[in-house]
Amino acid sequence: MIKFTRILFVAFLLLQATTVFACTTALVSGKFTPDGRALLFKQRDTDELHNKIEFFHDGRYDYVGLVNSNDPSHAVWGGYNSTGFAIINSASYNLNEHDQAPIKDKEGLVMKLALQRCRTVRDFEQLLDSLPKPLGVEANFGVIDAQGGGAYFETGNSRYRKYDVNDPTVAPDGYIIRTNFSFSGNRSQDKGVSRYLEAEQLFTGAAQDKALSCDFLLHRVSRCLTHGLTKVNLYDAMPQNGDSPVYVPFRDFIPRYITSAAILIQGTKLHEPTALTTMWTILGSPLTSVAIPVWINAKGNCPNILLPDASGNAPLCEWSLNLKKQLFPVEKGEGNDYLNLSALVNKENKGILQKNLVVEEEIIRRAETELNKWRSNGIDEKEMGDLYRWINKYVSEYFSQTPGYL
């Protein structure tokens, strides 16, 4: 089995393309969430802005993942499998200072292998031990399983260090955050510090309020408009209306110009069906898109707007990217560093983010109603299909009526 894994690993190395990563990620133990279910969060920052959802049946377990639309290797950048095992990552830039390798950026391969083969956090640790070195990675891998396990693995080319979210000496408040540095690395090389600082402040407050929930991560973290270093809160500068552009500097907030997607994987309690593991999925910029639930099911269904159409791209992602042009209309020079705040939020409550959140809240309300029913009475595939069709129609109609979505 180890020999097979080595062959598969090398084969994927030949297919993988190099890309640029950043990301803000977090892990919350189910012992500290209001409903007792663990949470695994990734805000994906990358130069590959066209993302889609894909279902896979090429391993020991079926799985679903976030994938680059144009990647023939189908490397996975976060997802979960039929056992309830889930994985995400953030790039680290301070682990391989003295351990360079001729290959790099293979995190998507490692995550794909993990989803194919792993059932538990321990399985993932054994996978890391078994893979040939150098791994070609420099990353913080976050994982959870259906047995209540959860950990980060700060992983370089030849070694890793594990941080167990259920260890009170590691995570006294039940959460771990990672941006683009590793605590076991050379701290003089830290990157993503401002995002880490803001996320830490948000999580500290939520932990005190016992509010480490899906709503907190999707709304307060993913769409946070406060800068962790300068403490500038863009809501304090909210324009009166959206009639005229109001430009503000926009670098190193948790949502960024290069944010391509966000996923929030909500685990299950012990003795709950792992099929109720839920991946709340935002394709495109969280500032111009909405969260949609994804479940692994017998028919492999999900809303079509998350899947590639004839163009190879997912419609929701494309709609979001087109709307994002209103937020960053300056195409020359450093235009990507300046946000048109009046198009995002304004006092008339007609900003893109404000209107999107109304739609998202209705999606979440209906999805949670069904989820609570399935947790009590068992999964109903017909009801799941009906919900997916409603989401597809509801979101499609909303974006078709939104100026600038095409």
Instruction: Give the tens place of pLDDT for each residue, 255-291.
Output: 999 999 999 999 999 999 999 999 999 999 999 999 9
Rounded CA-CA distance 390/129 in Å is: 44
The full length of the chain comes to: 406
Asked if 64 contacts 294 with a C-beta cutoff of 8 angstroms, the reply is yes
Place of tokens 């110009």: 257
Q: Is the pLDDT of residue 384 over 70?
A: yes
Which residues make beta-bridge pairs with 262?
43, 282
Q: Is the pLDDT of residue 5 over 70?
A: no
Between the two ends of the chain, the Cα-to-Cα distance in Å is 49
Task: Transcribe 185-212 into DSSP letters.
Answer: S-GGG---HHHHHHHHHHHHHHHHTT--
282 Cα distance to chain centroid: 8
Residue 405's pLDDT is 65
Rounded CA-CA distance 218/43 in Å is: 10
Give the phi and the psi of residue 356 in degrees, each rounded to 5: -60, -40
β strands within 76-173, DSSP E: 76-81, 86-91, 139-144, 150-155, 160-164
Rounded CA-CA distance 400/33 in Å is: 36
How far from 185 is each of 107, 150, 163, 270, 385, CA to CA, in Å? 17, 21, 13, 35, 46
Per DSSP, 226 falls in state: B
The stretch 306-321 carries a mean pLDDT of 96
Instruction: Give the tens place of pLDDT for each residue, 198-244.
Output: 999 999 999 999 999 999 999 999 999 999 999 999 999 999 999 99
- What residues contact 261, with CB distance under 8 A and at least 6 apart? 44, 51, 66, 281, 282, 283, 284, 317
Cis, bond preceding 249 (omega within 30 deg of 0): no
Which residues make beta-bridge pairs with 26?
41, 177
* pLDDT band at 406; cut points 50, 70, 90: low
Query: Is it true that domain 2-400 has CATH number 3.40.50.10240?
Result: no
Asked if 165 contacts 29 with a C-beta cutoff of 8 angstroms, the reply is yes
Helix axes 121-130, 2-15, angle to 10 degrees: 80
Q: Is the pLDDT of residue 293 over 90?
A: yes
Share of the chain above pLDDT 70, in %: 94
Buried b (16+ CB within 10 A) or exposed e, 279-303: bbbbbbbbbbbbbbbbbbbeeebbb
Asked if 329 contacts 352 with a C-beta cutoff of 8 angstroms, the reply is no
Asked if 151 contacts 46 with a C-beta cutoff of 8 angstroms, the reply is no
Query: Of 324, 263, 257, whose CA–CA distance to 292 is shortest?
Result: 263
Tokens standing for residue 41 = 């969060």
Kindly list the domain boundaries of the chain, sorted by start residue.
2-400
Tokens standing for residue 197 = 């600082």
* pLDDT band at 43; cut points 50, 70, 90: very high
Q: Is the pLDDT of residue 15 over 60?
A: no
* pLDDT band at 20; cut points 50, 70, 90: low
Q: Is the pLDDT of residue 84 over 50?
A: yes
Single pTM value for the model: 0.94
Tokens standing for residue 388 = 């997916």
Q: Whole-number mean pLDDT of the chain?
A: 94
Place of tokens 């590959």: 48
Per DSSP, 233 falls in state: B
Instruction: Give the tens place of pLDDT for each residue, 149-194.
Output: 999 999 999 999 999 999 999 999 999 999 999 999 999 999 999 9
